[in-house]
Structure 1
């Protein structure tokens, strides 16, 4: 009987120990998630995941949980305990070692970013930044350097996993990674190389290029609200979190994204304020969730950092009403991402098809003198406000009639080269010229000379 009681006590004690360990792991994982759920205003929310995407999210969550269970023991290889996706074309440690021409680009709280060349292609390489705010603040709290570096390394590994999981044309693509534990946990990630998104450069772009940025941002927001993992919040929504790769704007930093709308008890728990913008949102609490919180927050921040100043300047007159509507909806968050994307689709479609020109159907006779298969490469170029390029005056037109109208309205334009190339909206590219002479043959272009009288 005594032996039976002893075995019973041991069994109950084991149950208690297991339960305590489960609570500790849950608390640790929740702490890791909260690192990426702090908005710029300092608000900290608990988040939940929509039931329809629970299965996909639980798989992803389990991968993140593994990272929190790893001890500081350097004999443990992080990549074995925290597996990431590695295909046959994924760049690895040996590839990163063979990269050349490393050049420092930028640094943040956790990472340093370099450009490097491998097989004649230039990549971005992100590594842990030893002098970053994350490590320095950890050291100030009295932790050893090894543990502080390890914590920053975990954050970078989590970002690798996030970027591999969230596949979208407007999210930066990961080409490879390296995780070693020879010294400290040395972590490197290889991605597409992009140009920083700077306000001055954005404002210097043509309206068509700015339209593409706004369109790409809207498509990204729609994805963040309609994906297999539930609604996603870009908590640190700033232009610095994005880059442009071959004309496409891409989210490159996913350190501070959160999954699922916040949990709540009442509507008051769902209030969102933006102190710097003197704006607040009231969101209803439904089934213990602030439904639409992440979507509305993303919309407002995207409007504040992109669409509000990108679209109005230089908009064609025929598109002015629709653009004003988009800007207003973004600023006041009175549309969801599906509605905004539908409206942006309409603007892009109208611009590409020329329907915004509101023509009566009356045919206007072409008055310009056409010189077939001729070009003026590199000569008689001049800068203009609408140009798609940094040098010369290259613009897009729907047809020859619009090209003539643009040239007629510009005193400097004496001719234009009508090419067979198209912009991203499908419009034809023309090169406006300030003179004629020294023409070169070109089977892909026609030269049109403005009438003298």
Structure 2
């Protein structure tokens, strides 16, 4: 404004100043105006830059507060904007293509998969960086779509994804970062699993056959896991879930004759199975192959050990038939379900074993606070086991030298068996309406 007032003043004194002086003043005013505009543009660009997702991975209070209300079971998927506010990111795994992070969004721990920018696939690519990144990101996008198609309690749940429209550019601030958010699980540790009690390992076996059944009859048809290893799975809570679907093949192999349908596999021993060529496909090929591999990598370590003695032969027979290529996925699914029912019901108990309950006196609504002793590694503070009935509790107590009583408490295992606590004494009897006390006759 001062420039224009100066110009007006100059107009009244045109006769005193030369035309060159007027041009000089106009030039100076224009320069001043340009500088003001540049400063305003810079300030606005800084404000915009601070609000972009690229600056958000540091985590801010506003982003974390928004996540407090988010529930992983709500069905609402996280987007690019929300993904950038995940905090406490820590690498928990990486491969040729992907890097997996553990992070916290609101009150929920999640897994975030993105392209491994320094991995083998990126390092060996000779194209431009954005092209190489897009090629690797396409694998993550494909895997995400497949996980969604295979939605199942034993398949890792997708909780969000970021598919930006911008091309990837390395270095801060990076844009165009492709990521997928899933449930957070931990790797399958077979040493840890072998230390579980039989019922906990039976739960893993139950999950394995549920996955086999789903692969055999998925929404996409019959699926083959070419790389059926424990590394392709994680445990979320106490549930085994399929997490890596990169090597899944859709549909049974194509064929012209039965000669094209010979399945060869190594499961401790060489297995050769002859399958029929039916309507141009090897019928049951994927189902049988998956079952053999599941037997080798899981089932032979899960069910033959620690079961009630009456179920040992059944468990061993299932594993032997699996490893010999004599059980399809649907068949082993039925066998494990039958094993679970037998274990849950206690139908394996003999009449003499059931009759031992007659040697115990029942005290409903009473419990014992002392007399704990250790009878297995997983329960160092007490002897605890699930039972199918009070009769099985009495029989188990009779097999333990220290046991003189047991209590059925108000807790049940995943199979529906009730939890029993075995005791070496019964001096401190107390009231507990949720418990039932059984004391062996002739004690004290």
* TM-score, L = length of structure 2: 0.73
CA contact (8 A) 2:406 2:423 kept: yes
Residue matched to 2:21: none
Answering whether residue 211 of structure 2 is matched by residue 220 of structure 1, we say yes
CA contact (8 A) 1:374 1:445 kept: yes
Change (3 A) 1:433 1:338: same
Change (3 A) 1:262 1:391: farther
Structure 2 spans left out of the alignment, 5+ residues: 1-73, 169-175
Return the match for 1:273 from 244, 264, 286. Answer: 264
Return the match for 2:395 from 400, 405, 413. Answer: 405
Greater relative CO, 1 or 2 (CA 8 Å, sep 6+): 1
Q: Distance in 1 between matches of 2:357 and 2:384?
A: 24
Q: Within 5 Å, which residues of 2 pair with 1:12-411?
A: 89-136=76-123, 138-139=124-125, 142-182=126-166, 184=168, 185-274=176-265, 277-281=268-272, 282-359=274-351, 363-368=355-360, 372-374=364-366, 380=372, 382=374, 384=376, 387=378, 392-411=382-401
Shift of 1:372: 5.0
Shift of 1:114: 2.1
CA contact (8 A) 1:233 1:259 kept: yes
Secondary structure (helix, strand or coil) at the match of 1:115 reads strand
CA contact (8 A) 1:371 1:446 kept: yes
Structure 1 range deviating more: 345-354 or 273-282: 273-282
Shift of 1:428: 0.1
Change (3 A) 1:416 1:88: closer
Structure 1 range deviating more: 222-231 or 252-261: 222-231
Structure 1 range deviating more: 270-279 or 202-211: 270-279
Shift of 1:207: 0.8
Shift of 1:107: 1.9
Cα offsets for 1:114-158 (capped at 9, x unmatched): 22222312222222222333323x33xx33333222111110011
Change (3 A) 1:273 1:203: same
Q: Distance in 2 between matches of 1:145 and 1:379?
A: 68
Q: Distance in 1 between matches of 2:242 and 2:86?
A: 24
Q: Distance in 1 between matches of 2:371 and 2:182?
A: 39
Q: Distance in 1 between matches of 2:113 and 2:240?
A: 19
Q: Within 5 Å, which residues of 2 pair with 1:422-433?
A: 422-433=412-423
Cα offsets for 1:203-226 (capped at 9, x unmatched): 111111111211221121112112
CA contact (8 A) 1:383 1:391 kept: no
Cα offsets for 1:174-212 (capped at 9, x unmatched): 111112254514122121222211110111111111112
* TM-score, L = length of structure 1: 0.72
Structure 1 spans left out of the alignment, 5+ residues: 1-86
Shift of 1:266: 4.0
Q: Distance in 2 between matches of 1:256 and 1:391?
A: 45
